[in-house]
Structure formats: C-alpha cells, structure tokens
A and B are shown apart, each in its own frame.
Chain A
Amino acid sequence: MKKLLALPLTFALAASALAACGPQEDSTSTGGKKEASSKKPEKLVIWEDQEKGMGTKDAIKKFEEKHGIKVELKEIPMLDQQEKLRLDGPAKKGPDVITTPHDRIGPLAIEGLIAPIEVSDDVTKLYTESSINALTYDGNLYGLPKSTETPVFIYNKKMMDKAPESLEDLMAFSKGDKGGAQYGYLANWTDFYFAHGVLSGFGGYVFKDDNGTLDPKDVGLANEGAVEGLDYITSWYNEGLFPKGIIGEKAGSTIDGLFTEGKAASVMNGPWSFQGYKDAGIDIGVAPMPKLPNGEYVKTFIGVKGYNVSAFSENQEWAAKLVEFITNEENSKVRYEKTAEIPPVVSLMEDPIIADNEAAKAVAVQSERGVPMPNIPEMAEVWAPAANALQLSATGKSKPQAALDSAVKTIGQNIEANHSK
C-alpha cells in the first residue's frame, strides 16, 4: 500500500521540481562585463612564481603610486597556478594576473582560464620576436614575457680552458684526456627537451611552423634531418662517451651528480642549474652550445615565462596595464638584477648588465638561436614517444629511423585520440 502511494507521488514531485528548475534567466547579467572593466578597481591581485616576488616588488610599488590601485602580490609555485586558478577563478577568489611558462598557454586558452590582451606594436617591439611568438596562441597575444631560458653549455673551468667551438672538438676532447675527468661531456639526450636542439639543428622539427601557426598534422621528427640528428646522438652512446646509466627518468639528477662531483668536465643544462653547481663549489663557465658537425647551431627549445591576465578577472584592462607596466624595460632590468632571470627585452640584451655577464650572455645568445617550445596542447603527446625513440636508439634496441618512425606514428595516433575536437 505505502509503496503504491509513494511511487507516483515521488514522480509527481520530481517532475514538478524539474519543470520549475533552473537558474532565473537573466539575459542582462552577462552583457555588462566589458564596461565594468574599464572602471578603476580598488585592488589587483598578482600571482608571482615562488621566491621570485622580490623582483616584482619595486615595480608594483611604482604602479600603486602611479595609478592609486592597490596591488597584492602572492607567491605561488608557477606550475601549481593553473590548477589553483581552475578552482579559485570561478569562486571569485582568483588573481587578476598569473605567471605561466609559455607552453601551457594553449591549454589554458582552450580551457578559457586566461584572456588575450591587446597592446600596441610599440610594446611588442620591446621584446624579442621569438618570445612574443611563444606567447601567441591562435593569433592572439596572451600576456607579456617575463624571462626566457634555454639549455646552454656549462663547463668546469678547472678541467676545460674554454668552451669548444664545435661538438666535434668536444667529442675529440671526450675521447682524449677529458681534462682529468671521467667524462668529457654529458647531456641528457634521451630526454627530448635536450635532444631537440640536435634533431632540429640537423633539420627535424616538431610541428611545421606555418607563419606562426603550428600544424599538428605535420610532425617532422622522422624526416631525414631528425634521423641524422638521432644518428649523431646515438654515436655518443656507441662510442661509450655517454654511460648507459644516464638513460631515462633519473638521467638528469645523475648528470648533475657527476658534474658536481667533478667527474664530468662539461654538461648541457639550463640556467636553473647554475646556482646549484656554484653551491657545490664548481667554478663554472657558461657558453652557447657548440656547433653541430654540419656547421649549424644547436636549436635548443626556448622557454618563456610570462605574465598573463586571468579570464576570471573583472578588471582585465587594468590587469593588462599592470602586466605591461611590470614587464617594461626599466622594471625588467630591476627584476633581472634581483632574480638573475633573463628578460627577453631587446635593448637589455645589448645592455652591459647582460652583455658583460658570461652566463647571461650565453643564455641570451642561445635563446636567439633556439626555437620556442610549441605552445599548442598537442605538444603533450610528443614528449613520451619522442623520449622512447631516443632511449631505444641509445640502447641499440632500434635503429634511429625505425625508432623515430614508430614515435611519429604514436604521436599521430595520440593526437587523433586525444585532440580531435
């Protein structure tokens, strides 16, 4: 009896509830956003990378004085900001400006977490072309560059007088006396991030660059140049110059260990490693990467860190102004002095403050020779298959051509499976 009664009642209740359901339609609520944003806000919030806040503080103070807007600076690890913005943004607790490495810009833009900004040509001309390209996705500029980094050649001055001109010289050195070290040169060339410079120096590419738009259907990692590059990389392993123990996940830390113990005379690594090497008591010299055997430069991946405007910000115009202000020439210089991160500001590259600093100069020069890491989301599918190919070739389990063919096939399948819109 009770069941007989309860059932229709439940349905009636549910149906009536559903019919009246939904938020109150209010078509005017979404329209007024733009107008509100030009009004001067009381406060802007900026998320800065961890332990990098001191570089931005002065600029923020000046901005506060100039415009009378309070700016709150919070330090959050750069790679956590995306995740945090996803939750804090819709909850209206998010920042107006975030800091991101440029290769996340594609996914962030697709998810709608960051907003494009509009600045005049005078502003974009301040920065190197590659750094602006790196921050551009789908024809829109998403932020302005803060700093740039790329792997360079680092050597132990006790074991090497000066950086070699070419990798052939370096190979001869590694086969020779090695300056007393166990290894003349070590590079994590089974990690695609580091190996890319070689593959692309020989003529390989990740995605075909079509006037600034990357074509994810055209993967150039198995072309003639890429195979030649992998052949060259493999020769370092075959000659026994690179130990088999520096393959795979733990290779990076093993290389760092060998270099800081003085067992390796030189390594390929990025600016983030300088301080650690110095702390370990190594007298390091830094130079751009030596030339490849074919006379080309090593085209390393460039990473650009930038400030971006949150799509949840109610003051996007002012947030963009803040980004523009803290990345201008004067403030970039201050930040460089405080954090030693190199800003891709054209005029500063010639400034004695960078030009006379060996390490900074090396990174700046190498940055101009490199290519920006692709910022489209399809890039996520490249890392693992490419690393697989490098490993298989380095350990002699596959020939370079076969390894790269298989990688390109996997990349294509993954892109199809995960990125068909």
Chain B
Amino acid sequence: MTHRKTAALLSIIPGLGQFYNKQWVKGFVFLFLAACYFIAFLDFLNIGLWGIVTLGTEVPRDHSIFLLVNGVISLIVVAIGLGFYVLNFYDAYQNGNKRDMGLQLATLREQYHNVIDKGFPYLMVGPGFLLLVFVVIFPIIFMLLLSFTNYNLYNSPPNKLVDWVGFQTFIEMFTLDIWRETFISVFAWTIIWTFTATTLQIGVGIFLAVLLNQKDLKFKGLMRTLLILPWAVPAFVSILIFSGLFNDTFGAINNDILAAVGIDSIPWMTDPFYTKIALIFIQSWLGFPFVMAMTTGVLQSIPGELYEAATVDGASTWDKFRKITLPMILFTTAPILITQYTFNFNNFNVIYLFNNGGPAIPDQNAGGTDILISWIYNLTMTSAQYSKAAAVTVMLSIIIVSVSLFYFRKTKSFKDEGMI
C-alpha cells in the first residue's frame, strides 16, 4: 500500500494519518481538536439533529421552534466539523503523496511559516466569517426552513408541535383565492411603485447635483445644505408629518397650497390614485438627497480635461452631459442605484406610516397602496400565519436577489477594466 492511501485511511481518526507521516505536532493538534469537538458538542448535536428531523414528539417537553433553532445551529456545527474532517484527510493524503514521490516533508518550522505567510488572510478573515455564519446565514436558514413547516396559531408551541409540511405553504399561496387574487394586483402596484418612485428620486438627485456643480453658481454650500435636509430629518418623522399635510380636509397641501392657486381639494388619502401620487412624491423627496450627495462626489472626480477637449471639439452642454457626465455617474454609482430599487421594492416604512396601505378598495384583501411587504405584514400579523410569512419572504427574496444579481452582472462597474 502506498503511503498516501495508508495515511488517508488512518485519518479516519483525525490525527493518526499525520502521526503516520511523522508530523507529530500537527497530528496531536488534529486529534486534540477532534476530541474537543466531540466532548463539547455531542449532547448538543444529539438533541439538535433529532429535533430538526422530528421537530419534537411530545408536548409540553418539546418546543418545536427551539428545537428547530438548535437543529439549524447543529447543522452549521456539523458542516464546520465536516470541513475540518475533510481538511484532515486532505492533509494526510497530500503529505503521504509527497512521501510516495520521495519528497522531503515540511518541518514544523516550515509548516509554521507556511501557515503565517500563505494562510494569513484566512487566519484574519476566519473569526469574522464564523461570526457572519451565525449572525447572517443562520437566520436566513431558519426562515427558509420555517416556510416548510405549518407554524401558525393553531400549531404553536408549547401547546402543539410544529410539523414539516414540505411545499404545502407555497402551494396554498397560489391555490387559495384570497391569497392569489390580491397577490396579483398588489404585485403589479409594487412593480410600478418601485420603478416610478426610484427613477424619480434618482433623476431628481442627479439633476440637482449637476446643477449645483456649475462653476459660477453662488451660495453652493448653503444650497447643498438645504437640499440635504430631507435626508437629515428621520424618514419616520417626515412621513408622519406628510401624512398630516396631505389630509383631505385639514391638510396644508389642500387648504393652503392648492387653494392659493385655485385648485379644488384633492382626495389625497381617500382615493387610491392620488394616494399613489402622494406616495411617489414623498419617496422622491426622501430619497433624492442621498443620490445627490453621492453624485456630487462623483462629479468632483471627473477630470476637467474631458470637458475641455469636448469644448474644443465643439460639443454643446447637453452633449457633454449626455456623453461624459451621465456615463461617468452611472458607471460609478450603478451598484448603489440598483440597491435603491431593491430598497424601494421593500420600502415598508413609507407605505405603512403614510396611510397604512390605504385607502380601502372594494372586494380586495389589501389596501389600495399596499405593496407586497406591507400587505404580508398585515395579513400575517393579524392571523399569526408565521409559516406563510416565511414563505412569502422567501419568494420576495428570490425576486430581489435574482433581479439584483442580473443587473449587477450587467453593469460595467463589476468588470475589471476601468471606464477610462
């Protein structure tokens, strides 16, 4: 038998392969870590793996949701353990292979330097990555798994156990009339909302930034400060104030502004069409300062020679904007602009705080301006449909992730070659 096979086979117990390769310290470290792993986690893994498969068998001893949490953590711990185990095989096999080829194995000192030199980035990233797994990935897996259960009011611990139901929750989303019908109309408005509100806020932001960047403009600082203000005031406060300003009977918009120019009262809060207009306006107001600030930064970095050259070639101001300024802005800020779209797709605050998705419309389960996220919030929070909430969140995430990924890959910003 070759050294590499023997070493790999002995590695079934971590460390033995390394011992066989006469790398005593490394072997001892592997053995020690493996022992620690089993001593520390065996009980936890036992309950965790049992729990995630069965979700409990007996009330009130078993609390399905806690078991599910334990189970997910166990799976992560197992994955880390397996990764370590594979590393153990790989190391023994590689070093056995070296022996087969008659090469000298690295001494302890060389191994140490190897780890420090080549493994340095990994050593530094490791703890952060581990933290990330538990803080970011763990909740996502938990939510994903929740969507495959029947967790709702009537299957709630501690009184009842939660069960795995597979795709049933997803199927119900499309087979139950009340969910499907409203879903379609709400989805349509969500798309319109995302595109109009975001495009408007980006357009206004870029326009104002270019305007403020004109060389001979006076009081630039003051104007910039004023235009940043909507961003400085917490959106939460602004939206509530706007909801007062737009009040049909008492709001300043109808009573003072529109009345002054002789326009009749507009039903901002009671007619879905006007509520939508108001919402889009408010979101543009809240969103443009950020785009403007970002664009201002980009504008500073565009080299003046480009414009000088363009002037020499006889380009008009509009040509310069279209051919130089705009592409430069979009190239630099595209990733952030895309996130603006995804943000508005799920912009719960403005919808919920302005009119709580209202006004009412006949024969529908959602309000006239409810976007997916606010509709789902209302439906699930009133009826304690936790698994449905999870299922819809999964579907929303899939939409957002795929659209974002598609556009992130399309923009030039993520390709290695520069703009200029």
Q: Which 6 A-B pairs have the closest CB atoms?
A: A112-B159, A245-B249, A21-B50, A388-B360, A418-B383, A243-B249
Indicate whether A391 reaches chain B with its CB closer than 8 angstroms.
yes
| Contact A2:B89 (CB < 8 A) given known A248-B355, A383-B382 | yes
Q: Are A406 and B362 in touch, CB under 8 angstroms? A: yes
Give 8 A-B pairs besides A248-B270, A249-B358 with Cβ atoms closer than 8 angstroms: A21-B49, A22-B46, A23-B62, A248-B360, A391-B358, A392-B361, A413-B178, A417-B176
**B250 surroundings in chain A (CB, below 8 A):** 243, 245, 254
Q: Are A90 and B249 in touch, CB under 8 angstroms? A: no
Report Cα–Cα, A10/B356, bound state, in Å: 51
Report which of A20, A112, A247, A402 forms a contact with B269, defined as CB distance below 8 A: A247
Q: Are B89 and A5 in touch, CB under 8 angstroms? A: yes
**B359 surroundings in chain A (CB, below 8 A):** 247-248, 391, 395
**A409 surroundings in chain B (CB, below 8 A):** 363
The 8 A CB mask of A14-38 against B (1 = contact, 0 = none) is 1001101111000001100000000
The 8 A CB mask of A120-143 against B (1 = contact, 0 = none) is 000000000000000000000000
The 8 A CB mask of B352-393 against A (1 = contact, 0 = none) is 000110111111010000000000001000111100000000
| Contact A18:B50 (CB < 8 A) given known A107-B384, A250-B247, A417-B179 | yes
| Contact A398:B378 (CB < 8 A) given known A22-B46, A90-B63, A410-B178 | no
Indicate whether B12 reaches chain A with its CB closer than 8 angstroms.
yes
Report Cα–Cα, A90/B60, bound state, in Å: 10
Q: How far is the CB of B366 from chain A (nearest CB, A)?
A: 9
Q: How far is the CB of B297 from chain A (nearest CB, A)?
A: 38
Report Cα–Cα, A319/B149, bound state, in Å: 35
- Cross-chain pairs A/B with CB under 8 angstroms, 11 sampled: A5-B12, A21-B53, A22-B57, A30-B61, A244-B267, A249-B356, A380-B382, A391-B360, A406-B363, A410-B365, A419-B154
Report Cα–Cα, A311/B59, bound state, in Å: 13
Report which of B61, B178, B383 forms a contact with A419, defined as CB distance below 8 A: B383
Residue with the greatest number of chain B CB neighbours at <10 A, chosen from A30, A244, A418:
A418
| Contact A244:B249 (CB < 8 A) given known A89-B158, A384-B378 | yes
The 8 A CB mask of A351-390 against B (1 = contact, 0 = none) is 0000000000000000000000000010011011101110
Complex: chain B residue closest to A90, CB-CB: B63
Indicate whether A397 reaches chain B with its CB closer than 8 angstroms.
yes
Q: Are B156 and A395 in touch, CB under 8 angstroms? A: no
Complex: chain A residue closest to B270, CB-CB: A395
Complex: chain A residue closest to B50, CB-CB: A21
Report Cα–Cα, A61/B58, bound state, in Å: 40
The 8 A CB mask of B171-196 against A (1 = contact, 0 = none) is 01000111100000000000000000
Q: How far is the CB of B365 from chain A (nearest CB, A)?
A: 6
Q: Are A6 and B269 in touch, CB under 8 angstroms? A: no
Q: Are A2 and B90 in touch, CB under 8 angstroms? A: yes
Q: Are B249 and A23 in touch, CB under 8 angstroms? A: no
Q: Are A22 and B248 in touch, CB under 8 angstroms? A: no
Report Cα–Cα, A179/B247, bound state, in Å: 26
Q: How far is the CB of B178 from chain A (nearest CB, A)?
A: 4
Q: Are B362 and A254 in touch, CB under 8 angstroms? A: no
User: Number of A interface residues, CB 8 Å?
Assistant: 58
Q: Are A110 and B154 in touch, CB under 8 angstroms? A: yes
Complex: chain B residue closest to A396, CB-CB: B270
Q: How far is the CB of A115 from chain B (nearest CB, A)?
A: 11
Complex: chain A residue closest to B45, CB-CB: A17
Report Cα–Cα, A23/B325, bound state, in Å: 66
**B60 surroundings in chain A (CB, below 8 A):** 30, 112
Indicate whether B251 reaches chain A with its CB closer than 8 angstroms.
yes
The 8 A CB mask of B50-74 against A (1 = contact, 0 = none) is 1001100111111100100000000
Residue with the greatest number of chain A CB neighbours at <10 A, chosen from B8, B59, B157, B360:
B360
User: Number of B interface residues, CB 8 Å?
Assistant: 63
Q: Are B46 and A17 in touch, CB under 8 angstroms? A: yes
**A90 surroundings in chain B (CB, below 8 A):** 63, 66, 157-158
Q: How far is the CB of B216 from chain A (nearest CB, A)?
A: 46
Report Cα–Cα, A137/B260, bound state, in Å: 58
Report which of A1, A22, A417, A419 forms a contact with B93, defined as CB distance below 8 A: A1
**A418 surroundings in chain B (CB, below 8 A):** 152-153, 383, 385
Q: How far is the CB of A300 from chain B (nearest CB, A)?
A: 22
| Contact A417:B360 (CB < 8 A) given known A5-B8, A111-B159 | no
**A66 surroundings in chain B (CB, below 8 A):** none
Report Cα–Cα, A14/B79, bound state, in Å: 12
Q: Are B156 and A112 in touch, CB under 8 angstroms? A: yes
Q: Are B382 and A110 in touch, CB under 8 angstroms? A: no
Q: Are A5 and B158 in touch, CB under 8 angstroms? A: no
**B156 surroundings in chain A (CB, below 8 A):** 110-112
Report Cα–Cα, A245/B157, bound state, in Å: 44
Indicate whether A67 reaches chain B with its CB closer than 8 angstroms.
no
B251-305 residues at the A interface, CB under 8 angstroms: 251, 267, 269-270
| Contact A392:B362 (CB < 8 A) given known A2-B89, A110-B154, A245-B247 | yes
Indicate whether B108 reaches chain A with its CB closer than 8 angstroms.
no
| Contact A18:B53 (CB < 8 A) given known A1-B93, A381-B383 | yes
Complex: chain A residue closest to B356, CB-CB: A249
Report Cα–Cα, A232/B85, bound state, in Å: 76
Indicate whether A246 reaches chain B with its CB closer than 8 angstroms.
yes
Report Cα–Cα, A410/B363, bound state, in Å: 7
Complex: chain A residue closest to B62, CB-CB: A23
**A403 surroundings in chain B (CB, below 8 A):** 362
Q: How far is the CB of B270 from chain A (nearest CB, A)?
A: 5
Report which of B54, B154, B360, B385 forms a contact with A387, defined as CB distance below 8 A: B360
**A419 surroundings in chain B (CB, below 8 A):** 153-154, 383
Report which of A1, A6, A107, A392 forms a contact with B153, defined as CB distance below 8 A: A107
Report Cα–Cα, A402/B93, bound state, in Å: 77
Q: Are B154 and A250 in touch, CB under 8 angstroms? A: no
Report Cα–Cα, A90/B61, bound state, in Å: 10
**B85 surroundings in chain A (CB, below 8 A):** 6
| Contact A110:B66 (CB < 8 A) given known A1-B5, A384-B378 | no
Indicate whether B82 reaches chain A with its CB closer than 8 angstroms.
yes
**B12 surroundings in chain A (CB, below 8 A):** 5, 9
Report Cα–Cα, A324/B360, bound state, in Å: 45
